[in-house]
Amino acid sequence: MSIKTLTSLTLSGIPAFGLPAATFLSFLSGLQFLSRLALLDEVVDFDRSRMTDVVEMPSLRFLMLKPGPNISRIYLTGLMETVITPALEELVLDFTNVSSPREIQLFLRHLKREAPRFLSLRHITINSPFEGFDIASALVHTAPNIEDLSLSRYSADSILMFLAHDARREVFQKLRTLHFDSPHFDWDVVLSFLQKRKQIGRPLHCLKFTGFGGSKGEVLDELFKNLLEACLAV
């Protein structure tokens, strides 16, 4: 099989030993059928090059960014500036290994500064130990058409509080599904968010929970089933 026909690819690197930007972009430019791409740790060393070249990935539908603990401050913004994904539908942002919020803040500020670039994005997963308000505000700007939002234990409450604020009643108008990957969240925050969505005529259609062990799931079903149904679309 020719490498040019690859449809799925995972690349992993370490700080200071990533691919030069020119090599990385040249490699991706030959993968026009690639639909899934996962970049782990620091795959590209943008410090080695100040190129302005870009590569467009017309077939890419899924992208995972999972940077390591000591990424350079321009790594994530470098990716955004050089890899164009006009048809991207699903984005996974996993920042659990990042040791400092500085690099994440630079990345988010870059997204908010630029014109909305993820207009085709429908599904997003956020796993971050850092403040969720900044993440949510960046996504509202850059990916306004999200339909499915998956939140981790770290950022669930702060992101939902941001979205539930009266000043942001019109954001994420197409949101239909909310998914929690662990039971570590504030039920009052979740229920307030669901109720406000229904009040403005945009109720959620599906609420998913994973990570409940033992009989805890049955207990929660009994306690919250009726209340959740009242907050979701019938």
Digitized pLDDT (tens) for each residue of the chain, 234 residues in all: 567 789 999 999 765 678 888 889 999 999 999 999 999 998 988 865 566 689 999 999 999 999 988 888 888 999 998 999 999 999 999 998 988 888 888 888 888 888 888 999 999 998 888 767 788 888 889 999 999 999 876 678 888 888 888 777 778 889 999 888 776 778 888 888 888 888 888 888 888 877 665 544 455 555 566 667 767 775
Q: What is the pLDDT of residue 231?
A: 75
pLDDT value for 33: 94
Instruction: Using only the alpha carbons of the chain, give its radius of gyration.
Output: 19
Dihedral sign for Cα atoms in the order 25, 27, 31, 37: negative
Which stretches of the chain are assigned E, i.e. beta strand?
A: 8-13, 19-20, 36-41, 44-45, 55-56, 62-66, 83-84, 90-94, 123-127, 148-151, 177-180, 206-209
φ/ψ of 84, rounded to 5, equals: -100, 125
